Each structure stands twice: as structure tokens, then as C-alpha cells.
Amino acid sequence: MRFFGIGSGGYGKVEVAGEITHEAELCGYGVFGDNIRDIRVQKGLSQQQVAEHIGTSLTQVRRWEAGQTAPSIDNAALLARFYNVSLDRLCGLQDRPDLDLEGLDEKQIEALKAVVEGFKR
């Protein structure tokens, strides 16, 4: 199955075995908006702070969070970097939350890294 570019409604054509069969929602505005709002609130940021950091207007951030519009791929990438999450997470394609290391000291972060490395072996 291959996905084609996202259209204006957040939909793209799905090709299965060489045939385009239907349109499927890849990253709906509502899911994206809910996720960026939830992450922003979790991090204690205002919509204005987000807008200023990524270089857009407060109105635009409000529209994204309300699910009225979706950001360009460039702005989505800026949001992902700013929030330190993947685009998959913002689109709801990742079912596990990202690990938030804010507030941990260097010793705690190193201990977590050691645990992760232990699982890789």
C-alpha cells in the first residue's frame, strides 16, 4: 500500500496492488490540532509563544488547534522540532507517547540511556 500526497482536506489516494482504490485520511486536521494543543498545554506554553517561535500568527495557531486548517509541511516540521516530537506523533500515527526528559538532571538522563541500551542488547 502506498500513500500519495496529502490534499486540501488531509486526504490522499491509496494505491493497493497498482490500483487507486479510495481516499484515506492520512493526518486529519482534528487529530493534528488536538495533538498540538495537548502537547502545548502539557509543556505549559501559550499559543502566542508557539506562534512567535515558529514565525506565524496567533490566529494561525488557533486555527490549527481548532482543526480548521492544517499547517504547511514546513510549519508542521517546525512544530515537531519545537515540541521535540515526531511528525508521526503529531498526526496520531504513533500510539505511544514520547518520553519527556524536561526537568531531569544529567545523571537521570544518563541512567535512562543506560536502561535503553540494555534493552537493545
At 32-69, the pLDDT tens digits run 899 999 999 999 999 999 999 999 999 999 999 998 88
The more confident residue out of 23 and 35 is 35
Against a cut of 0.75, is the pTM above it?
A: no
Three-state SS for 30? helix
| Bridge partners, residue 3, by sequence | 14
Which residues are paired to 12 by β-bridges? 24
Intra-chain end-to-end CA distance of the chain, in Å? 32
Beta-strand ranges (E) seen in 1-119 are 2-3, 11-16, 19-25
Closest by CA to 43, choosing from 73, 71, 84, is 84
Contact residues for 5 (Cβ-Cβ < 8 A; gap 6+): 12
Asked if residue 80 has pLDDT above 90, the reply is yes
Higher-confidence position of 20 and 75 = 75
| CATH architecture of the domain with residue range 29-96 | Orthogonal Bundle (1.10)
How many C-beta neighbours within 10 Å does residue 59 have?
A: 10
